[in-house]
Amino acid sequence: MPKASDQRSQLVLENFIGGKFVPCSRHIDSYDPSTGEVYCKVPDSGEDEVEAAVQAAKKAFPDWSSRSPAERGRVLNKLADLLEAHLEEFAQAESKDQGKTVAFARTVDIPRSVDNFRFFASSVLHHTTDCSQMDHMGCVNYTLRCPVGVAGLISPWNLPLYLLTWKIAPAVATGNTVVAKPSEMTSVTAWMMCKLMEEAGIPAGVVNMVFGTGPRAGSALVGHPDVPLVSFTGSTATAQLITEQSAPYCKKLSLELGGKNPALVFADADLDQCITTTVRSSFSNQGEICLCTSRIYVERSIYPEFLDRFVAAARKWKTGVPSDPDSNNGALISKEHLEKVRSFVALAKSEGATVHCGEGVDQLRLPEGNAGGYFMPATVLTGVADASRVMQEEIFGPVVCVSPFDGGEDEAVARGNGVRYGLAATVWSRDVGKVHRMARRLEAGLVWTNCWLVRDLNLPFGGMKSSGVGREGGRDSYHFFTEVKTITVKH
């Protein structure tokens, strides 16, 4: 693949607008989380760059939207093939940019990005529209699904290419053109993917990438009158601003936001399976996944055994250099985020909580070159009140709170639902009836029982309450990225 321009041995990214790389006069420092050192310059784009990208997308829309779903699908499959051919290069770049382990990027982030393109390239071929007869009036009614226009896509820093392609693939497959803004902290793999666009056969202007911050580039994109649709993944606070900016234009919004996800562990759970999976659901990707478990409620009769075994397993969850194949976790995204996550542990301690492992208890052993990195070991807390900020707010790091409950589904449901978020939940029980009852009563867009992060891309993804608005996934993405039109023909 082509190399970046070099400035003092640092990557210098450029925006991708109308099929060409366009330099920017302003830049933002991007850090390697595993060393704490600047290694990349990211464009600090604003209204001018967004305007150019929107105009390029508008220009490309008539031709792209007139192509058949099969033709668009062939292009997306070609892009998937090119990504797969460069998988290792993308995995290494994603790890360096985000801090995650190379192994996680290699087995999760990049393969899932490939799958996103292939899935939507195929699924767009299989949707059907509705028809109804009104013989008594001599009419036939039918519906059409039409692309919306220029889609504004804003993706987060935790799963950079994975979540960006989750938006680009359905938007483009359904005939829209795109202006995307990745996180300014993790822009490298998005920039690398732009280098594959022409070879994949994606026409100029169909996919445009504008790099920069939320307040400048993101705000300009969301507030642009020619961007009728916005898909955003990120914080609830930012989503509130997006909603306000979009309201004057009545934009279509899909908002996938934060989570404070409970695991409810009943006495009849398979503890071997539960502990192995719940350690993974609590700490994967440094706990920087919106679906990660952050509150574990355990039926009191098994609470002592669960806690002992869970803490022992968490201690074996190795935090280390991202390139080390033995590392389960790498570094957190930034110094500021590490300080935020640590502050929640300090708050819990000040309120009388016990830290069983991790922050302040277990010493990390890191090479000298990584001493300035943003590492934090898997941390388990007990004795945290449900009303504490530690239990109520999204920490988004390798910190989990474990608490007993005294039995009874009502208490488990009430405590599981006792936060403003409603993204995901897990239930652990061998009782099939209990599993179904709990799943029905939990206020969460996704409920896993006796497993975690098993995803069928056909099915809806999204949250309730402050965890989001709307759903994406096979049919839901098709509906979101298109407008339905009802046509009546009198014969």
Digits of tens for pLDDT over the chain (491 positions)? 544 444 447 899 999 999 999 999 999 999 999 999 999 999 999 999 999 999 999 999 999 999 999 999 999 999 999 999 999 999 999 999 999 999 999 999 999 999 999 999 999 999 999 999 999 999 999 999 999 999 999 999 999 999 999 999 999 999 999 999 999 999 999 999 999 999 999 999 999 999 999 999 999 999 999 999 999 999 999 999 999 999 999 999 999 999 999 999 999 999 999 999 999 999 999 999 999 999 999 999 999 999 999 999 999 999 999 999 999 999 999 999 999 999 999 999 999 999 999 999 999 999 999 999 999 999 999 999 999 999 999 999 999 999 999 979 999 999 999 999 999 999 999 999 999 999 999 999 999 999 999 999 999 999 999 999 999 999 999 999 999 999 999 98
Among 188, 209, 214, 8, CA closest to 98: 188
Asked if 221 contacts 208 with a C-beta cutoff of 8 angstroms, the reply is: no
Catalytic residue among 94, 184, 256, 359: 256
Active site residue 290: yes
Report the distance separating Cα 74 and Cα 440, nearest Å: 40
If you search the block for the tokens 């007990």, which residue do you land on?
382
What pLDDT was estimated at residue 1? 55
> What confidence score (pLDDT) does residue 476 get?
97
Q: Which residues contact 105 (CB under 8 A, 6 or more apart)?
A: 90, 91, 92, 94, 95, 98
Q: Tell how far CA 433 is from the center of its chain.
A: 32
Distance, first Cα to last Cα, the chain: 58
Tell me, yes or no, if 139 is annotated catalytic. Answer: no
Which entry of 40, 290, 357, 401 is annotated as an active-site residue?
290
pTM of the shown model: 0.96
Q: What are residue 6's DSSP bridge partners?
A: 11
Alpha carbon of residue 229 to chain centroid: 18
Q: What is the pLDDT of residue 6?
A: 42
> Under the phi-then-psi rule, with left for phi > 0, alpha for psi from -120 to 50, and beta for the rest, what region is 260?
beta
Closest CA to 246 of 267, 263, 273, 225: 225
